[in-house]
Amino acid sequence: MDEQPTFTLNGRAQSLAGVDPRQSLLRWLKQQRLHGSKEGCGDGDCGACTVALVDVRGDGSAHYQAVNSCLLPMGSLPGREVVTVEALADGERLHPAQQAMVECHGSQCGYCTPGFVMSLFVAGHNGEAGDTAIEGNLCRCTGYLPIRAAARRLADSPPPADRFAATIAAPRPPLPTVALGRYFSPTSVSAALALKAQYPDAMWINGATDLGVNLSRGQAVAPAFIALDRITQLHLITVTQDSLRIGASVPLTRIEQEVHGMFGALDDMLPWFAARQVRNRASFGGNLGSASPIGDLLPILLALDSRIHLRGVQGERSVAADDFFLGYRKTARADDELIVAVSLPRTAQQISASYKVAKRQSDDISIVAACFALQRDADGRVAQVRMAFGGVAATPCRALAVEAFVRGKILDEATVSETRERLRAAFTPLSDHRASADYRRALCANLFVRFVAEHCA
């Protein structure tokens, strides 16, 4: 392992010797008196702390990714490259992302501006400028019209011919195996498992979009971490005629781009899963590892009859999603096993869709998430149906009895109406600050009616 870990910040090598690996990049930047990246929330919600992280893919190509520096632990940085807002202007000459914000009057108090500028910088380089590039950035005072105008101006311009274009085009060697204190970043599954045997109290960590919140708040969390985000095997997406296999560490934005059109349910959910900065780091492995009852990807895995592939020192095994969730945040994964992939069968003639209902349309925690997958036979009868929900019980779960009622039936008005009543009675959710139990029950019922109206007419 690298004895003197460093990372590249704005083109210069920075020593990481003695740096607390659990500290966030944002805190560290402040200590270096780099105050350009702002702290709005410290929780991944506002985007004021956005920086560009260079993502090195398996083929050696490099890409800028907008990420929240408040969630990024310093331990994840050895061998990586980061660009912050301080580096953008070339002397007195503003970067096109900054110039567009100035010309479109996109900044009033300016607190959110460095975050917007960094999101636009990344989007400009990736050819993705436009509204979605700034979905993870909040502004409290300017109002979004001028900021969106700046994003559009950039989208209508050719990719910036700035000094970063040549840097990012150069191929990179694979990220090295490193450790910063007790934050280990192995590059193979077997090395990760060996570390886990050596440090049984260590926690797996991937994109740190869940764990980073705890770390950012200074919570102890675990005595050691084993990072899975630079293991190439966990970044593979494999498509065959029968199935789609997604490596546990693949960032959700890559899934959005690379398997679009394969499963309606995934296409529906991914744009509403957090914001782009979070999706650039968040993974299936982390969503399953947290096993939250409101994890948005989990009803999809249940409804699509997926399997979860686990690896431990004893070898690899796979568990049906149906058998994975055992209780509140308890799963069939042993502590020393890691999730290597999920696989989703590609079932002919299957219609699938998912829905997320939250207090705010985007970047919010679900009140209820629902996923439906259905096949009909030649007579129009329901041959197979799976209905899965998050936010209605201690685990994500299926409405098995209601599925059995629907199977074999034509989806006429009477069946849909009876299904709706049965779904309303299927769960006993809790009331909390997000919603009442009654509202959650009504959502389960009404989302099915919406699914039928939208996809089964």
Residue 252 Cβ vs ligand FAD, minimum distance, rounded to whole Å: 7
CB of 400 to ligand FAD, least distance (A): 23
User: Are 198 and 218 in contact, with CB atoms under 8 Å apart?
Assistant: no
Kindly report the backbone phi and psi dihedral angles of residue 307, in degrees, each rounded to the nearest multiple of 5, phi listed first. -120, 150
The site string for ligand FAD over 233-252 (x = CB under 6 A, - otherwise) reads ---------------x----
Q: Which is nearer to ligand FAD, 106 or 396 (CB)?
A: 396
What is the arrangement of strands in the sheet containing 338-345, beginning at the earlier edge strand? 237-239, 243-247, 338-345, 307-312, 315-320
403 binds, among ligand FES, ligand FAD, none (CB under 5 to 8 A by kind): none
Q: Is 44 in the site for ligand FES (CB under 6 A)?
A: yes
Residue 356 or 398 with smaller CB distance to ligand FAD: 356
**357: partner contacted, choices ligand FAD, ligand FES, none (Cβ within 5-8 A by kind):** none
Q: Which of the listed partners (ligand FES, ligand FAD, none) does 8 bind, with a CB threshold of 5 to 8 Å by partner kind?
A: none
Among 206, 280, 306, 354, interactor with ligand FAD by CB under 6 A: 206
Number of residues in contact with ligand FAD under rule CB under 6 A: 30
The least distance separating ligand FES from the CB of residue 40, rounded to whole angstroms, comes to 4
Name the segment binding ligand FES (CB under 6 A); options: 44-52, 357-365, 414-422, 444-452. Answer: 44-52
- Asked if residue 280 binds ligand FES (CB under 6 A), the reply is no
- Minimum distance from CB of 293 to ligand FAD (Å)? 10
Site membership for ligand FAD, residue 210 (CB under 6 A): yes
**Span 49-108, contacts to ligand FES by CB under 6 A:** 49, 68, 70, 107-108
Cβ closer to ligand FAD: 95 or 356?
356
**140 binds ligand FES per the rule CB under 6 A:** yes
Among 31, 38, 1, CA closest to 14: 31
Only one of the segments 89-97, 208-216, 391-399, 449-457 lies at the binding site for ligand FAD (rule: CB under 6 A); that segment is 208-216
Residue 109 makes contact with ligand FES by CB under 6 A: yes
Judged by beta carbon distances under 5 to 8 A according to partner kind, the member of ligand FES, ligand FAD, none in contact with residue 70 is: ligand FES
